[in-house]
Amino acid sequence: MEVLSDFLVPGIVFLLTTVFGFWLSKLGKPYNGALFNVHKLLALGAVIAGGIQVARMLRSVDMQTLVFILWMVAGLCVIALFVSGAVMSMDKLDYSIMRGIHRVAPVVMILAAVWAVYLMA
């Protein structure tokens, strides 16, 4: 149960990021500048808070290869979220593909992170 409390703040911030993301999606393009910036800052805060907790956990356990791979998958999903969000806001590539990546990456990230935390606990 202690592991869950360690990830409470990052989880809440991630949830807020998701709520603002859905809100932005419902408002459509062009994105509301204030909401878009809140969404981006919340996402950055969730990554920082989650990264701090992961780093603390990794120092206290003997890391297995599977756990390492799961954290790398979660990290790649975070990068995919930032990149796809930036590309969608700039209208550089196919919007529907970027939106698909932006919708799938959080699910894969959560699954990988939860599995890694479970294995570490």
The pLDDT value recorded for residue 74 is 94
Domain boundaries, the chain: 2-120
Residue 1 has pLDDT above 60, yes or no: no
User: Is the Cα dihedral 47, 29, 32, 35 positive or negative?
Assistant: negative
User: Is pTM beyond 0.95 here?
Assistant: no
The pLDDT value recorded for residue 104 is 94
pLDDT tens, 44-103? Answer: 998 898 888 888 877 776 778 888 899 999 999 999 998 998 888 887 788 888 889 999
Average pLDDT of the residues in 94-120: 90
